[in-house]
Each structure stands twice: as structure tokens, then as C-alpha cells.
Amino acid sequence: MKIITKLSVGGLHLMLLTIMISTQIMAQKPPVIPLEDFFKNPEKSSFNLSPDGKYISYMAPYESRMNIFVQKVGSQKALRITSETDRDIAGYFWANNSRILFLKDNGGDENFALYGVDINGKNARCLTCFEGVRTQIIDDLEDQPDFVIVGLNKRNPMVFDPYRLNIKTGEMVMLAENPGNIQGWMTDHEGKLRVATAIVDGVNSQLLYRDNENEEFRPLITTNFKETLSPEFFTFDNKKLYATSNIGRDKSVAVVYDPATLSETEVLFENPDYDLSGLSYSRKRKVLTAASYVSWKRERHFFDKQTKDIFENLEKLLPGYEISISSSDKAEEKYIVRTYSDKSLGAYYFYDLKKNHLTKIQEVSPWIDEKQMADIKPIQYRARDGKVIHGYLTLPKGVEPKNLPVVINPHGGPWARDNWGFNPEVQFLANRGFAVLQMNFRGSTGYGREFLESSFKQWGLNMQNDITDGVYWLIEQGIADKNRIAIYGASYGGYATLQGIVVTPTLYAAAVDYVGVSNLFTFMQTIPPYWKPMLDMMYEMVGNPEKDKIQFEATSPALNAHRIMTPLFVAQGAKDPRVNIAESDQIVEAMKKRGVEVEYMVKENEGHGFHNEENRFDFYRAMEKFLNTHLMK
């Protein structure tokens, strides 16, 4: 069997793919696992420690919605402190030792409001409930227990102004007025608002700075948006910036930037193959701890021996799992540790550093037996123009990897990427006998500037070719049955699904579009108001509806539906602020006019993706039936 044409950069992937194929043949075929086991809410998740380390908080279902619970460390008795029944809580954090703040939207409209509640469940109140306004968290102000800094677009729906919010009284003080182009704000280690990032002239990025909150912001550096200097946090004297930068280079690296000299003074770490994805530090010890990047897995470079020792010790205690520290107390002596793998959502542990003692708190999804899950392995192939495309291949267990039904699963974004880890969709499909191919087509993040820029104005063109070439690669390997291939994706992945059945109408036996774009003209007209300052940048990355009219006409699936022959299933949230419901309406109407099979599911209480548990069940149940009808004949 031919696996790949070259064994240089792909040597590891070739070896892993060969091992995976032989392993899959020997593995025992698992039983059919109930659909709900993959998509129901976890028993408990999102564990955090109070700043004093005395309490553990977590999220768990209450009337099928994720709510917040609190318990003392060492106790098994927990108190539910929220009672949200219309919508999952989107996220939360400890404001201080006695109060928790959380975010929630209304029916998927993404206008998140900030709420506060005491850890005994009392004194609940909404702090930023303004009609049509979205709340961002800029800084939780860990050292100022009664304050946070939030961003609100209540003055102008297109931009977010920063406010210092008193979480006791609800009083807010505006710290700066957004002139209309600032996309992000950053504080120093004392909680002072000192840095802003802006879009200038629609396409140029600008880093703004001030020495204190009484000064006006001044520009430090202006670059084309393709080159970025992204501040991570201040140096510990609050005079310089730790940042990631790809200025004058292809890959983002870790640097120290000096606002006084307007220059990078030091390169701290770089990887020749991948962008740096982040830096971390110890708030207590005031040292830089690690840099992280993603190859086919997350990897770390340590600057600090103590942090390196902690992770190495945890890896010995928890062999075979990826490890992250999700929370710590203020003293940095107690930690919440999270594990995961490609076959497990993992577990949460309480780690006492002084005692070097690890206690399991909770399996995230104890009903999932990882022995019955499939391996998700890295692969790579070459696109038709020679560009190397990385991805992940999942083969169903206990089945010979030959002439299999396959689901091609391009990711959303599109300027994002697929990562290695537990993916309930992928494991669900593998359990049902499908192989799944995920690819990081050109434009996927983490692979450098050239790879990103090669996607500009390539929606439906070379980006789509990368997906198609992955299908051909699977067929060449003998893994895919060319007559039983489906394509499924969400958001941009939904667009790629629709475009796939337009440009290669005989390649796919079925297609599932989940909140996907169908018409580039109407998509650009209905973007959220807070995206509009970046519209010129989107014109350069996606295209301009006027200047690129001919290209948009050719690459808008709804305008080319006459080419579609593939049975299609479409799912959409009625309140989606990113991909308006009109996107799905258009393609469904066009299909119905032609008499091509189309199923349409709309959920009135959802937005960009289905978050309510019962809606997830409905969607995947319908998708399974649809795929079985067309691929399991």
C-alpha cells in the first residue's frame, strides 16, 4: 500500500500511519455506544480553585444546563450557587474568596452579560445587563478583589470601551474611549490599563502604549496586519513587554519589546517549524515560566526549572496523558490539574505542591471507555501545488482499513486549526464505522505567515483544493471507498462542505452543513457590528464584494446550486450573529427549487452552534440517520 510519496518531513507520520493501520486491524470492534454518551453534558467540568485555595468550584448540569457548584477542599458536599435553566453558563471565574462572576448570553445571540453571585448562592445580580450589549473580560484584577475591567460595546455597537467595574456596587468608570479602531486592551501587573491594539486604515495593525492611566495612548509600531507584534504581558518591572512577533520572519517567536527604544531587545524562544502560541508566567514568583506551540500536539519550552519540575513530576504521576494546569491558588501551592488524550476527555486532579500529593477529583465523562475509542493520528499529504498539508486521520476500531466509508471534516474559522485531543464528533463517527479525515488546509494557524497568507482570497479555490486533495489521498491509500465519502463541517467548514459539493459534485455521497456560509455577498453584509472595523482586512483576506464580484459569484455555493447533485442536510441556529440564518435559508431554497434532496433543521433558541444538550442530541441523531442512509447502503 502506498502511504506517502516522501519520507523526509513525513517520516514520523508515515510510521504512525503504518502502526495505526496494523493496530486497527488487530483491535476488537467496539460495541455501538449510545449517541448521548458522546454529546451529553459532562458530570462535572471547569474546575477552579478559590484564591485562598480553600474552595473548589466547578460546572455541572442542573435541569440540563451547565451551572456553578462550590465545595470545600476535602469535602464531598457541594452547593449549587446558580440556577440557570434557559442557557448554559458560558464561563466563570473567582472574583475574590467569596464571590464568583460568570457570563451568559440569551439564546445564542452572543451578547454575553456579566453576573455575580456569592459562594453561598446569595446576592446574585447582573452587572452588565444592557440590551444588545456584549461583555468582554479584559482583566479579572486578581489583586483588587472588588474590581474587574470589562469591555462593553454599549456606547457604540461596533467597538468596546474599557470600564473598571465595582462588583459590589455595580459602579463603572470608563478608562478610555475607544476611538473606533481598538480591538484589544491590556493591563500591567498593577491592573493599570496601559496597552491597546488597533486596526488602522482597515488593514494596518498598531500597538498603542501609555506610561500611566493619566496619559493619552501613543503609537509604538504600525505594521500591515500580516505582521504582528502581539503583547502577552508586561515584564515584571512594568516597563517592557513580553510579546510574540513575526515581524521580519515567517514564524511567530517570543520576544522582549522595549517601548522606550521601539525595538525588540531579545528573542527568548523560537521554533523553526511552528508559530509560538503563548507565554506563561508565575504571578507570585514574577518569573517567565514557559512558551508553548502546537506541532501535532501541544509542546512546551520551559524557562523556569521549578515549572519544568512540576510538569515532569505530573507526567510521571499521570503517564500517557496530556497535562495542563487549569487553576491555582494565589500562593501557587495548590493546583487544579487537567488531563486528556485523543481517547479520553480526561479527569481533574487536586495537586498539593508542598506535599507532592495528587488526588483525583472527577472524571469528566466516566461513561466513556477509552479502550473503545479510536486512535487519532497525525498524517500529512501534498496538495496539487506541492504544499504540505497536515491533518489527523481516525480509523474505526476492529475494522480493516480498506474501502471504508469516510467523513471529511474541514474545520471552521477558517483561520484556526484542528488539534490533537478528544473530539466527540470524531469518536462518535468512528464508533459508527466511519473513518474521519481532518485537515489543516492552507490558512490554518500555527504554521507560519506564508502558510496563512496563501489562503487570502482563496475561499472555495486553493483552500478547497487542499480539502479535495485530502480526499484523493485517502482514496489512493485504499482507505476510502470512493463511493461512500461524505463531507461535514461547521461555520467555514460548512461553507467548505457546500463548496465541495458545488466544485466536485460527484465526489461526495452526502454532505452536512452546520451553520455554514452559502453566499459571500450576503455573509459580508450581515457580519456582527463589532467585526466592521476589520472589514477592510476581511476584504483582503476573503475578498471585496465589489472588486471581486466575479470571484464571489463563482465561489458562493448558493449562487451555483444548479451544480449540486449531492444529498444535503443543513442545520442552523435562528439567532446566529456570525452566520445569519439567511445563509442556510438560501441554499435550502435553491436545493428545493431543483428538487435535490435537502433536510433542514432550525433551532430557534440557538446561535452559532447548538449548545443546549437536547438540541445537540437532535442534530447528531439526524446526522447519523442521514449518513447511514447515504453511506451505509
294 falls within a domain: no
Amino acid at site 49: L
Better pLDDT: 14 or 483: 483
Q: Read off the DSSP letter of residue 629.
A: H
- The secondary structure of 199-245 as a DSSP string is EETTTEEEEEE-SSTTSPPEEEEEEETTS-EEEEEE-TTSSSEEEEE
Kind and range of the H or E run holding 397: none
- The secondary structure of 436-464 as a DSSP string is EEEEE-TT-TTS-HHHHHTTTT-TTTHHH
175 falls within a domain: no
CA distance 521 to 556: 8
Q: How many CB atoms lie within 10 A of CB 415?
A: 12
Segment 196-207 mean pLDDT: 87
Mean pLDDT score of the chain? 92
pLDDT at 83 over 90: yes
The answer to whether residues 437 and 569 belong to one domain is: yes
pLDDT tens-digit readout, 451-500: 999 999 999 999 999 999 999 999 999 999 999 999 999 999 999 999 99
pLDDT tens-digit readout, 572-620: 999 888 888 999 999 999 999 988 889 999 999 988 999 889 999 999 9
The answer to whether residues 416 and 526 belong to one domain is: yes
Which is nearest to 40 in space by CA: 410, 491, 396, 368? 368
Segment 197-205 mean pLDDT: 85
Contact 92, 102 (CB under 8 A): yes
474 falls within a domain: yes
Residues composing the chain: 633
CA distance 434 to 512: 15
pLDDT at 18 over 70: no
Sheet strands side by side (includes 65-72): 45-49, 55-62, 65-72, 78-80
The CATH number that applies at residue 437 is: 3.40.50.1820
pLDDT tens-digit readout, 44-70: 999 999 999 999 999 999 998 999 999
Classify 486 as helix, strand or coil.
strand
* Cell 435553566 belongs to residue: 85
Of the pLDDT bands very low, low, confident and very high (cuts 50, 70, 90), residue 1 is very low
Of the pLDDT bands very low, low, confident and very high (cuts 50, 70, 90), residue 531 is confident
Whole domain around residue 262: which residue ranges? 227-281
Give the angle 180-185-191 at the CA atoms, nearest 5°: 140
pLDDT at 550 over 70: yes
Q: How many domains does the chain have?
A: 2
Return the half-sphere exposure (C-beta side, CA atoms, 13 A cut-off) of residue 297.
14
pLDDT tens-digit readout, 469-479: 999 999 999 99
Long-range CB contacts for residues 100-104, cutoff 8 Å, separation at least 24:
100/57, 100/68, 100/70, 101/127, 101/140, 101/148, 101/167, 102/68, 103/135, 103/137
pLDDT at 92 over 70: yes
Give the angle 94-612-129 at the CA atoms, nearest 5°: 50
The answer to whether residues 388 and 510 belong to one domain is: yes
CA distance 531 to 519: 18
Q: What is the pTM of this model?
A: 0.89
600 falls within a domain: yes
355 falls within a domain: no
Domain end marker among 238, 255, 281: 281
Domain end marker among 243, 265, 281: 281
pLDDT at 453: 97
pLDDT at 4 over 80: no
pLDDT at 331 over 50: yes
The answer to whether residues 271 and 390 belong to one domain is: no
Which is nearest to 587 in space by CA: 602, 604, 606? 602
Kind and range of the H or E run holding 428: helix 424-431
The answer to whether residues 411 and 520 belong to one domain is: yes
The answer to whether residues 465 and 569 belong to one domain is: yes
Of the pLDDT bands very low, low, confident and very high (cuts 50, 70, 90), residue 17 is low
pLDDT at 9: 37
Q: How many CB atoms lie within 10 A of CB 276?
A: 25
The answer for residues whose C-beta is within 8 angstroms of residue 425's C-beta and 6 or more apart is 38, 409, 620
Contact 253, 243 (CB under 8 A): no
30 falls within a domain: no
Which is nearest to 37 in space by CA: 348, 369, 397? 369
pLDDT at 7: 31
pLDDT at 248: 94
Evaluate the CA torsion angle 260, 266, 271, 277 in order and state its sign.
negative
Which is nearest to 48 in space by CA: 361, 422, 314, 368? 361
Of the pLDDT bands very low, low, confident and very high (cuts 50, 70, 90), residue 6 is very low
208 falls within a domain: no
CA distance 567 to 578: 25
* Cell 469518536 belongs to residue: 427
Of the pLDDT bands very low, low, confident and very high (cuts 50, 70, 90), residue 25 is low
pLDDT at 266: 97
The answer to whether residues 251 and 382 belong to one domain is: no
23 falls within a domain: no
The answer to whether residues 407 and 265 belong to one domain is: no
Give the angle 586-587-593 at the CA atoms, nearest 5°: 90
The answer to whether residues 402 and 254 belong to one domain is: no
Give all strands (DSSP E) within 420-522, no chain letters.
435-440, 480-490, 510-514
pLDDT tens-digit readout, 223-251: 988 999 999 999 999 999 999 999 999 99
Contact 53, 350 (CB under 8 A): no
* Cell 495548590 belongs to residue: 334
pLDDT tens-digit readout, 255-285: 999 999 999 999 999 999 999 999 999 999 9
Q: Above pLDDT 70, what percent of the chain?
A: 96
The answer to whether residues 611 and 474 belong to one domain is: yes
Classify 133 as helix, strand or coil.
coil
Long-range CB contacts for residues 353-361, cutoff 8 Å, separation at least 24:
353/310, 356/313, 358/314, 358/317, 358/318, 361/44, 361/47, 361/56, 361/336
Domain end marker among 281, 304, 324: 281
Distances (CA, A) of 532 to 199, 201, 204, 407: 11, 12, 14, 35
pLDDT at 358: 95
